Amino acid sequence: MVVEQLFLRVSERARQTEFSFWGHGDAKLVRGSGLFVPKTGVATNHHFNPTDADTLFRFSGGLYSLELMASLVGRKQLVSLWNIALEVPSGVFDTSIANNKAIFYNWSSQTCSYVMSVEDRFGHGYQVADPSDAEGGL
């Protein structure tokens, strides 16, 4: 198979968005497109980001559906490769982006499900820049 494009469809209640900027790789991130998948498969890390940089998709408390979709060469219909529901606990991000919090979902072979943990990530935070604060450009 040849994968033309992968994207992640994220739904929560009435909200739905697609994280369609796809990249893959382990040591070096490569922009995704035209990935050949042999019978033995491909094992690599995949990264999905929204293409609309002007709109921030905020994860608030609630149940989310994540569906991995693929466009395959030779097929007219999209293919659903994987679907899972994950709970985001209320209050983790409050009303702003908490740059010191991260939610991790790790697979548990005992329960055959993902186990969530909320962790403090001091020193690894991200800030959302306000363009009006720029002094003379970059």
- Quote the Cα angle for 128-62-116, to 5°: 85
Chain segment 1-23, per-residue pLDDT in tens: 788 889 999 999 888 889 988 88
- DSSP string across 46-83: EEEE-S-TTS-----SEEEEEEEEEEETT-SS-EEEEE
Chain segment 45-72, per-residue pLDDT in tens: 888 888 776 777 778 888 999 999 999 9
- Name residues whose C-beta falls within 8 Å of residue 65's C-beta, 6 or more positions apart in sequence: 9, 10, 11, 12, 83, 84, 85
Q: How confident is the model at residue 132 (pLDDT cuts 50, 70, 90)?
A: very low
Higher confidence at residue 79 or residue 138?
79
pTM of the model: 0.72
| Tokens of residue 81, six digits | 């490769």
DSSP annotation of 129 reads P
Residue at 60: amino acid letter: S
Cα–Cα distance, 9 to 71 (Å, whole number): 13
- Phi/psi for 98 (5° steps) reads -85, 105
